[in-house]
Structure 1
């Protein structure tokens, strides 16, 4: 079967490897779609990356159960599932423990059902502490930010202010129901948020970019005794914060990434319920599709972000 692996800096290749067999309590899943994650982009673009063996990766996968291992109880061949896995989702088949699979409705396309990132976004929304009537400022409206924006509205935010530097992201925010959008290339985003809130600041500010400038904006834009949610995946070096402002404002600061598999699964189940019921939109967040043989091109596009780029999905 075909499977993609990272072999060096900026170099991902497709290999022919043996098809796995499901062990006890495992499912063999034929992968239909696997999203490209920004965390993988950081590894792919790291000039210091080195490994003696190919690193098979991909963790945003969905597909169809084709075989079940001994002792499985919940699933059967033909079930449509999304997965939580770190075993190499850029592959035609993958074997995973059945507890890391969630069933999909028949009406949900596989490319919409990218369980792991949807679960991350729903967990971040849950940890945000958004209350009914809150003003929420979201800094960064890519794929993950678009999910969080919808989650914030479902949590009861009465006003959502979206900030980005790309026109396609600002347009996405409008489509998803943001009340105001701010182009950070043209305006001082923190000052605009303060203006829009009559100098008070947003009740909750969610940073979803992974960049220093967004942390600085969030620090300035959140109200006294507000909540600052760090969701962006920060890579390649340290970040600085103005602790004097954090202290003076008495902020609640939440680092909203989960590393507990059970927490991931709770978020994925929540996301799939919302997706199945039509309360969560994923299709507008997807922009580029590539067959597995073109995965190197997909990573190049994710790094360069051509006009209109939001999220790349590998298909099989």
Structure 2
């Protein structure tokens, strides 16, 4: 049960910070329990950019081990068509040749304490597509191991729209962590790909008010289309003062941080009410310093982290398939594999018009 595939392919290979190269490599051959997919689209994440620029989070320093391996093919937000594999793989994943799938970023070991407790997204070894021990999708073909968590997705979606399932599922997990209630005022920092997913997810919880913050009016308008009741351009308006004005001086109930900018952390702590909830999703490129007494003595806040999108993929895929997401407006730029550097540069240009940038390796 297979389709003929070439023996060589084009792929982006990581050689070091700011040293990514387009190379010709062998097409991986699936072994027992493995599948091969023809990559249709791969989104470029802010974490890909921070990795490219050498952030310690990815390359390691005296305080943390390396997160990424040299010689690895990057790319973890992907969709592709199954082209080969064995029956064990097909039965395990519930798919077959010709089906379209997306995969979760984590490739859990299934054996560590976290995996045994169903907390697979915090897997101890933490193998991940595009970073550690498994090549990613900035290539024409990708190997899907049996340990991967694959999800079928409709062929009616444009490939780069389907690939948005990964950042959307991550945003939905952060929303779930927040425990949003009907009467809550929810503030979302950032209207990039993750922030817009946070707005979409928060809107599905039907709180009293969803407020989106950003520096860019066009992205704030997109935030409105994703479900924000109110938008605030923080370059022109004091978000803390405005939100306190809207809440009788108390502050917001929930703050969802999706910018990865250090200034957004203090902003969130200051605009929350006492006993409010702060959820941090972003990957920061540098250390962040805040007054922790705000969290404890001043407000007794619940401060929560969020990592990946566990158990949120079916909801994210459903939202994409049923048209809940204005995904054509979010997925603004697509380039070919040979133009991967342009894709990275578009993500880096925060003053530009790009929101979600994707690479189409076989386009």
TM-score normalised to structure 1 length: 0.92
Check if 1:216 corresponds to 2:266. Answer: yes
- C-alpha distance in 2 between matches for 1:157 and 1:244: 28
- The corresponding residue for 2:178 is 128
- C-alpha distance in 2 between matches for 1:246 and 1:140: 22
Give matches, 1:27-42, under 5 Å. 27-42=35-50
- C-alpha distance in 2 between matches for 1:168 and 1:57: 30
The alignment's C-alpha RMSD in Å is 1.9
- The corresponding residue for 1:285 is 330
**Residue 17 (structure 1) shift:** 0.6
Partner of residue 76 from structure 1, selected from 70, 93, 96? 96
- The corresponding residue for 1:45 is 53
Partner of residue 301 from structure 2, selected from 247, 251, 257? 251
**Residue 265 (structure 1) shift:** 4.8
- The corresponding residue for 1:303 is 348
Partner of residue 64 from structure 1, selected from 70, 81, 85? 81
Partner of residue 93 from structure 1, selected from 129, 134, 141? 141
- C-alpha distance in 2 between matches for 1:139 and 1:241: 17
**Residue 25 (structure 1) shift:** 1.7
- C-alpha distance in 1 between matches for 2:234 and 2:104: 35
Structure 1, unaligned runs of 5 or more: 259-263
- The corresponding residue for 2:285 is 235
**Matched positions, count:** 310
**Residue 52 (structure 1) shift:** 9.3
- The corresponding residue for 1:272 is 317
Q: Secondary structure at the match of 2:236?
A: coil
Structure 2, unaligned runs of 5 or more: 1-8, 61-67, 106-128, 130-134
**Contact 1:5–1:12 under 8 Å retained in 2:** yes
Check if 1:166 corresponds to 2:186. Answer: no
